[in-house]
Structure 1
Amino acid sequence: MAIMGLGSGMDIRGMVDALVNAEAAPKNAQLNRLEKATTAKFSGLGQFRNALSEFQTVLKDLNSPALFEKRSASSGKADVFSVAATSKASAGNYSVQVLNLAQTSKVALSQVPNVTDAIGTGKLTVTAGDKSLTVDVTDANNSLTGIRDAINAAGKESGLSATVINDPNGGGGARLILSSSDSGTGKDISVTVDTTGEVNSDLSVLAFSPTVPADFKLPEVDPESTGARVISYARDANLAIDGIPISSETNTVEGALDGVILTLKSAQSAEDIEKGNTVNLNVSEDRAGIKTQVKKFVDAYNKMMETVGSLTKVTPVGGDDGEPLAAALVGDASVRSFTSAIRGELGSVIGDTGGLRVLADLGISTQRDGSLKLDDTKFDAALKDNFDSMAGFLTGRDGLMAKLESRVAPYTANGGLLESRTTSLQNTLASVDDQRLALTRRVEKLESRLLAQFNAMDSMIGQLAGTSEYLTGVLDSLPGVVKKDN
């Protein structure tokens, strides 16, 4: 709502606002243009730096000699054994026979009538290989459940454990089942009982020292027998690699082949063993892993250049008279110098690396739009025929990846080119804020001054109007003055 002057009747507020806006408009427009352009460039440089950082990460991953030292290993029958290989493994094919798996010891002690019946007191010692434990059996724990709990409490560190099962055979009763977690020949469980000084103790019924047959074959046992028996003997795994016999305490076999770890899953059938059937084990360079990493390099480069393209794109608008839309980094010197340098490195010759001299020798070519494309067939052939040369071409201080990274690093480094430029743009945005604040203060002072001047003028006009009315009244009252008709 307009505020009219009391003396003049003029719209003082409207006039002051118009004058203030006219004074501030050019500077506001200038600051808006500067802020918009600076913000767009700041955002564009951030996107550019992120794209370079992602590409740099892929370069570092591919510039790793360890990548070419990795080995892949495969088993002809994964249900018989699985295999893994380290960089120490030598490439080759091997024939494997798995004769038997490693076993742990498990025994069932003599049957007693009831799990809660008192058996007797004394000391009960369980031994498996070089591990043993002794429990004191007292009146407080002289039942099967009490002995079981005492063994489990004492056997946590030694891998010895106990359970109780109900056995309906031989008239019915319960048995203590002892197990060891350690496999390997000579680690069978035995139980000794010492009842020295005890009165009427039947604890010795739990004593058991089995004899291990040479063929590890379990003896036939009368199902109705209540005596102790062996459930499984502790035994080494036995296999043959290229006809050479090998034994292992566990089903994880290390050291038989340098850098190769076999995990045995099942023994071959007696028929396969008798016929001499073997399972193939293959160790080779990890070519699939290298190809995957090279594909990541190609994809990362293309993604980076797509980002650069979007940041330097000029889009026509309307007809011939329409002003085109320019992306944030159109004509930017940093972007131009980077793309020129990176493309130069891609086309450079990397010494004499046994048939691989330029990127195209790997099957990586540059398309019309500047993107890279990987020819799978040509790359696979280069990987097969020039495996060692490829490592020298791509990795190391003089390899392509290092050369590319040397072009990227000055832009992405802390305190580098892009960080310095973004810092400068941040300072510009801060300066815009300062200039806006200064403009606001100047406009406020101008507004106050104009209001004071216009109000003074309005007051003066009001005074003059009052004087005019007074004089008119005085003149009208003088004698001889002829009044005009309205």
Structure 2
Amino acid sequence: MQGLGNGIGSGLDINSIVKALVDAESAPKSAQLNRLERATTSKFSGLGQFRSALSEFQTALKGLNDPALFEKRSATSGKPDIFSVTADAKASSGNFNVQVFNMAQTSKVALAGVADPAVAAAMGTGTLTIDVGDTQLNIDITDGNNSLGAIRDAINAGGKESGLSASIVTDPNGGGGSRLVLSSTQSGTGNDISVSVSNGTGNLASLAYTPDAPDADFTPTPVNPNDPLAPRTISYGRDAQLAIDGINISSATNTVDEAIEGVSITLKSAQSADDIKAANSVSLAVAEDRAGVKSQLNKFVDAYNKMMGTVTSLTKVTKVGGDDGEPLAAALVGDASVRSFMSAIRNELGNAQGTDGMRILADLGISTQRDGTLAIDSERLDTVLEDNFEQLNGFLTGDNGLMARLDGKVDPYTQTGGILESRTTALQNTLSSVDDQREQLTRRIDKLEARLFSQFNAMDALVGQLSGTSDYLSGALDNLPGVVRQDRR
């Protein structure tokens, strides 16, 4: 119910009066709910940031608390252009001398050239058998599908899985004609391509070719100047030849996995003839992956410092204005959960454990600064990695290692149903309660407003009636005999 501005009977501004009374009644509770909502929302956001920082820190802890990290091996090649190398946990630390005499290579042959285009368009019929080591491919050649191009396509389709492919090369001057060139991806000595033809008609038999046995240097077959259409071997299948610490090794591929346990060598190129003649070798070193451990320690320090930065920003008090200005407090100033967590972490970092001169982080070259962050003395850490790698493993990893102990302090806060989740749930309930209280306040104020309008409108009507009665009585009295009106004196 609404008033109509000034009361008809009383002349009072009922709307303004009711509004003032309603505002006076709702303002304190509304202000209280607004303050509670702002404070709760601020804490909710702050706890979310705090939990996120703890989760990142916990990820760094788990990454460093991994025994496999200390089992990894790094392997380096003295000449990466000669060979690259990788190593796994099975590899033992050591240094080796490697000589690479030749790379493994695959077979490639050029079959007999066909000078007459009409012949190339219809080679005849029969079965083309292609052997590559222990692999055999049979291609049936039929009328209407027996051109060099069709034979090439059939070889490519049938040899796809075995790594056999074909192409056509044509001599632009016509002397070498058009010929099929066959290539294989199967490397190693004895894996040479040979072609035979059975039940052949027409010129199909001309495609048969069995390479001669290679010489000691696996020299390709030269072009026959007297017969430019003759087939030839472009490259022989050949094993890679190398030596490790003077022990000769052959490999059908350019990846050598079993020569040194846990080490994989990928050959990139052979050494020069001068290097081979001079018996020059290329170094291969296998060692603990100290760089990987150092990188993970850096990630741990970075995550800790980031967490400290988040905690500082959430718990600082900023002075505003002069001495009389009210300071601005961050979302989690004085928060018990944050204080408890930071106290537990600091105590654990200062808790001396272990032996052999490695008991706290400072022994690794990781020290606490005045602002609470961590800093790494890189040279000191390098010395520890070099001289005490196994002790470092025991200090950091395992059920009693530093990383597990720190993780044990973080987990109660970040786990499902943990401290922070319980607190954020409680804050969500508080925000829901604020919404409920606002609805209740709105309903109560609406009822108050309706009652006040009803009362003021009733009062206004009564005043109007009384005013009308007063005017009537005044008029009646003025008209009585013997009554002298004041305005007639």
Check whether TM > 0.5: yes
Q: How far apart are residue 166 of structure 1 and its match?
A: 0.3
TM-score (norm 2): 0.96
| 1:325-356 CA-partner distances (Å, limit 9, x unpaired) | 1111111111111111100111111222x331
| 1:285-325 CA-partner distances (Å, limit 9, x unpaired) | 11111111101111111111111111111122223322211
Matched, 1:347 2:337: no
Aligned to 1:182: 186
Matched, 1:117 2:121: yes
Secondary structure of the equivalent of 2:469? Answer: helix
2:52 and 2:214 mapped to 1: Cα distance? 69
Deviates more, 1:35-44 or 1:182-191: 35-44
Matched, 1:221 2:223: yes
Matched, 1:173 2:174: no
Aligned to 2:262: 259
Matches within 5 A, 1:107-186: 107-114=109-116, 116-168=120-172, 171-186=175-190
1:457 and 1:267 mapped to 2: Cα distance? 111
- AA partner of residue 439 (structure 1): L
2:214 and 2:32 mapped to 1: Cα distance? 99
Q: 1:325 is matched with which residue: 328, 333, 336? A: 328
- AA partner of residue 427 (structure 1): N
CA contact (8 A) 2:133 2:192 kept: yes
2:77 and 2:100 mapped to 1: Cα distance? 12
Q: How far apart are residue 478 of structure 1 and its match?
A: 1.7
Deviates more, 1:384-393 or 1:311-320: 311-320
CA contact (8 A) 1:195 1:203 kept: no
| 1:174-197 CA-partner distances (Å, limit 9, x unpaired) | 11101111001111000001126x
Aligned to 2:461: 459
- AA partner of residue 459 (structure 2): M
| 1:37-62 CA-partner distances (Å, limit 9, x unpaired) | 11111111111111111100000001
Q: 1:337 is matched with which residue: 335, 340, 344? A: 340
TM-score (norm 1): 0.97
Aligned to 1:381: 383
CA contact (8 A) 1:51 1:307 kept: yes
Q: 1:244 is matched with which residue: 242, 247, 263? A: 247
Aligned to 2:418: 416
CA contact (8 A) 1:185 1:235 kept: yes
| 1:20-71 CA-partner distances (Å, limit 9, x unpaired) | 1111111111111111111111111111111111100000001011111111
Matches within 5 A, 1:4-153: 4-114=6-116, 116-153=120-157
CA contact (8 A) 1:161 1:180 kept: yes
Q: 1:309 is matched with which residue: 309, 312, 328? A: 312
Q: 1:269 is matched with which residue: 247, 269, 272? A: 272
CA contact (8 A) 1:342 1:407 kept: yes
Aligned to 1:425: 427
Secondary structure of the equivalent of 2:121? Answer: coil
- AA partner of residue 480 (structure 2): L
Q: 2:196 is matched with which residue: 189, 192, 197? A: 192
CA contact (8 A) 1:355 1:389 kept: no
Q: How far apart are residue 264 of structure 1 and its match?
A: 0.6
Deviates more, 1:9-18 or 1:221-230: 221-230
Aligned to 1:209: 210
2:148 and 2:35 mapped to 1: Cα distance? 90
- Assess, with a 3 A threshold, how the Cα gap between structure 1 residues 2 and 448 changes in structure 2: closer, same or farther: closer
Secondary structure of the equivalent of 2:486? Answer: coil
Identical-pair percentage: 66
Aligned to 1:234: 237
| 1:111-160 CA-partner distances (Å, limit 9, x unpaired) | 11245432221111011011111111111122211111111111112211
1:15 and 1:219 mapped to 2: Cα distance? 114
Q: How far apart are residue 168 of structure 1 and its match?
A: 4.6
Secondary structure of the equivalent of 1:240? Answer: strand
- AA partner of residue 152 (structure 1): N
- Assess, with a 3 A threshold, how the Cα gap between structure 1 residues 114 and 462 changes in structure 2: closer, same or farther: farther
2:382 and 2:331 mapped to 1: Cα distance? 41
Matched, 1:371 2:373: yes
Secondary structure of the equivalent of 1:485? Answer: helix
Deviates more, 1:145-154 or 1:472-481: 472-481
1:114 and 1:76 mapped to 2: Cα distance? 54
- AA partner of residue 335 (structure 2): D
- Assess, with a 3 A threshold, how the Cα gap between structure 1 residues 371 and 172 changes in structure 2: closer, same or farther: closer
1:220 and 1:20 mapped to 2: Cα distance? 109
1:185 and 1:102 mapped to 2: Cα distance? 8
CA contact (8 A) 1:3 1:11 kept: yes
2:213 and 2:464 mapped to 1: Cα distance? 129
Secondary structure of the equivalent of 2:74? Answer: strand
- AA partner of residue 464 (structure 2): G
2:203 and 2:321 mapped to 1: Cα distance? 106
1:208 and 1:141 mapped to 2: Cα distance? 21
Aligned to 1:390: 392
Aligned to 2:445: 443
1:154 and 1:403 mapped to 2: Cα distance? 61
1:170 and 1:358 mapped to 2: Cα distance? 82
Q: How far apart are residue 170 of structure 1 and its match?
A: 7.1
How many corresponding residue pairs? 482
Matched, 1:292 2:295: yes
| 1:357-395 CA-partner distances (Å, limit 9, x unpaired) | 111110011111111110011101111110000000011
CA contact (8 A) 2:152 2:167 kept: yes
Q: How far apart are residue 214 of structure 1 and its match?
A: 4.0
1:441 and 1:117 mapped to 2: Cα distance? 96
Deviates more, 1:232-241 or 1:306-315: 306-315
2:175 and 2:484 mapped to 1: Cα distance? 154
| Coordinate RMSD, CA, aligned | 1.5
CA contact (8 A) 2:122 2:144 kept: no
